[in-house]
Amino acid sequence: MSVRQSSNQSSNQSSGTARARGLTHAVPAQVSLQDALAAVADPVRRSILRELAAVPEWTKACGTFDLPVAKATRSHHFAVLRAAGLIEQRDEGPRRLNRLRRPEFDAAFPGLLDLVLSHPGP
């Protein structure tokens, strides 16, 4: 899986990954359909996606999501969403902010995110 590199990321030449303070972000166009479907299959991750879709980019910190899981489990869910190219995260002071990578993900998987976000409940 390829990853995106931005100005606040350092390159790891040997593994082909890009990291931002330890975070790896996948390029949605190079994520497999199986990985994309697995990421949106979990109700907790769908809840994260719905909350992100409802707010402006970079305004929702990880600790502000209403999730019925422990902190370690929450971190795992965010990592899965990053690996699938669905979200991007950045650190600002003590907070880790999130954005839904809707345009990039929609280009790779047209209609999938709309379907997930329109489905009610868990």
Residue ranges per domain, the chain? 32-118
Cβ–Cβ under 8 Å, residues 35 and 1: yes
Please give the mean pLDDT across all residues of the chain: 87
Confidence label for 121 from pLDDT (cuts 50, 70 and 90) = confident
In whole angstroms, give the CA distance from residue 122 to residue 104.
24
- Residue bearing tokens 């890009």: 18
Q: What average pLDDT score do residues 5-30 get?
A: 58
Q: What angle do CA 64, 67, 70 make, to 5 degrees?
A: 100
For domain 32-118, the question of CATH label 3.40.250.10 is answered with: no
Question: What per-residue confidence (pLDDT) applies to 10?
Answer: 38
